[in-house]
């Protein structure tokens, strides 16, 4: 939450770019930067922004402030990399869990829309180069007074990412509360079970079609090539006497997700870095 961190990160990034520019062509600045929208949980705040916040502080406001400094540092890093070697590609890294409305009830639709805005405004800033209108209204309603300089906004505009890296494991679902008017999203309390998808042993919703939906949503919104950098399946695996693990459920998970990935590329025109078509998948 200290502005000095921007300079520290810039120096760190420059050292990395110069040292490894001949070995590494694809870079990402902040891993799963948007998970900190679950700010009532101290873990993502520490993981994503190095924040350890006093219980008397406003955790959400601190999250927005730290994220802003990350946006400026990320935009600086993009420009530093391009100066060192124009062929270097610097991307964002989004934890993508598309959020569906539980029903077609208009209030649920609006709740899901606000949830997607809130969880993925990070991608708006890093890919499009500006803060969306709704979030500025949100800050004003909350009375937040963030340290955002005109020069910061110019940097963010000049340093948009070259691609969007993302993780995808599952989708979410949400519904509006009775009498809700602002539809503010609280990831800690507002997620509900989706009855139309299976779940893993950990309760994570298994949704291969959600990957295709997410790839289309990000492409339409951010207009950047995509890079899948995390995907997988956790389960309570059984180790056999010979040391082997038979996990057809994991094979099925990857099969179904790869199939939807191919559909997004071949049928929908999504640009995917690192993609090599393997032909038909049975």
Query: Is-contact 206 170, C-beta < 8 A?
Result: yes
Which of 7, 32, 240, 267 does the annotation list as catalytic? 32
Of 238, 259, 260, 240, nearest to 249 (Cα)?
A: 238
Q: What is the pLDDT of residue 282?
A: 42
Q: What is the pLDDT of residue 246?
A: 96
pLDDT at 267 over 50: yes
Separation of alpha carbons 121 and 68, rounded Å = 11
pLDDT at 147 over 70: yes
pLDDT at 33 over 60: yes
Q: What share of the chain is helix, strand, coil (3-state, %, to 5)?
A: 45, 10, 40
User: Worst-scoring range by mean pLDDT, 95-99, 141-145, 272-276?
Assistant: 272-276
Q: What is the pLDDT of residues 203-241, one digit of tens each?
A: 999 999 999 999 999 999 999 999 999 999 999 999 999
Confidence category of residue 137, pLDDT binned at 50, 70, 90: very high
Q: What is the pLDDT of residues 150-197, one digit of tens each?
A: 999 999 999 999 999 999 999 999 999 999 999 999 998 999 999 999
Q: What is the pLDDT of residue 279?
A: 54
Which of 62, 230, 240, 267 does the annotation list as catalytic? 230
Note if 267 is an active site residue. no
What is the arithmetic mean of pLDDT over 125-149?
97
Tell me the CATH class for 4-231+242-266. alpha beta
Confidence category of residue 275, pLDDT binned at 50, 70, 90: confident
Confidence category of residue 278, pLDDT binned at 50, 70, 90: low
Task: Break the chain into its structural domains and give their ranges.
Answer: 4-231+242-266
Q: What is the pLDDT of residues 167-178, one digit of tens each?
A: 999 999 999 999
Please provide residue 248's backbone torsions phi and psi, each rounded to the nearest 5 degrees: -60, -25
Q: What is the pLDDT of residue 274?
A: 78
Separation of alpha carbons 215 and 261, rounded Å = 8
From first CA to last CA, the distance across the chain in angstroms is 50
Starting from the edge strand earliest in sequence, which strands make up the sheet with 89-95, in order?
26-28, 89-95, 163-167, 226-230
Separation of alpha carbons 219 and 203, rounded Å = 28
What is the arithmetic mean of pLDDT over 6-14?
98
Q: What Å distances lie between residue 133 and 75, 118, 137, 143, 194, CA to CA? A: 20, 12, 7, 16, 30
Q: What is the pLDDT of residues 78-118, one digit of tens each?
A: 999 999 999 999 999 999 999 999 999 999 999 999 999 99
Separation of alpha carbons 21 and 205, rounded Å = 39
Looking at every residue in the chain, the average pLDDT score rounds to: 95
Note if 230 is an active site residue. yes
């Amino acid at each position: 939450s200290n502005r000095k961190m921007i300079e520290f990160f810039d120096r760190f990034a420059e050292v990395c770019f110069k040292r490894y520019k001949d070995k590494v062509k694809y870079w990402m600045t902040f891993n799963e930067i948007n998970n900190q929208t679950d700010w009532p949980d101290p873990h993502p705040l520490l993981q994503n922004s190095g924040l350890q916040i006093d219980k008397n502080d406003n955790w959400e406001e601190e999250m927005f402030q730290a994220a802003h400094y990350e946006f400026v540092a990320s935009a600086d890093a993009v420009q530093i990399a391009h100066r060192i070697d124009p062929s270097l590609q610097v991307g964002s890294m989004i934890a993508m869990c598309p959020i569906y409305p539980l029903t077609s009830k208009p209030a649920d639709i609006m709740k899901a829309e606000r949830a997607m805005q809130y969880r993925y405004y990070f991608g708006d800033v890093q890919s499009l180069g500006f803060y969306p209108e709704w979030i500025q209204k949100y800050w004003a309603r909350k009375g937040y007074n963030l340290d955002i300089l005109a020069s910061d906004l110019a940097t963010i505009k000049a340093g948009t990412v070259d691609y969007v890296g993302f993780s995808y494991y599952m989708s979410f679902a949400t519904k509006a509360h009775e009498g809700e008017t602002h539809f503010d999203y609280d990831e800690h309390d507002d997620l509900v079970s989706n009855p139309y998808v299976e779940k893993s042993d950990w309760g994570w919703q298994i949704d291969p079609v959600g990957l295709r939906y997410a790839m289309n949503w990000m492409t339409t919104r951010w207009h950047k090539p995509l890079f899948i950098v995390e995907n997988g399946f956790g389960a309570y695996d059984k180790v056999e006497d010979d040391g082997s693990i038979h996990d057809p459920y994991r094979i099925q998970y990857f099969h179904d997700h790869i199939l939807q990935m191919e559909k997004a590329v071949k049928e929908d025109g999504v640009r995917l870095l690192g993609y090599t078509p393997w032909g038909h998948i049975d």
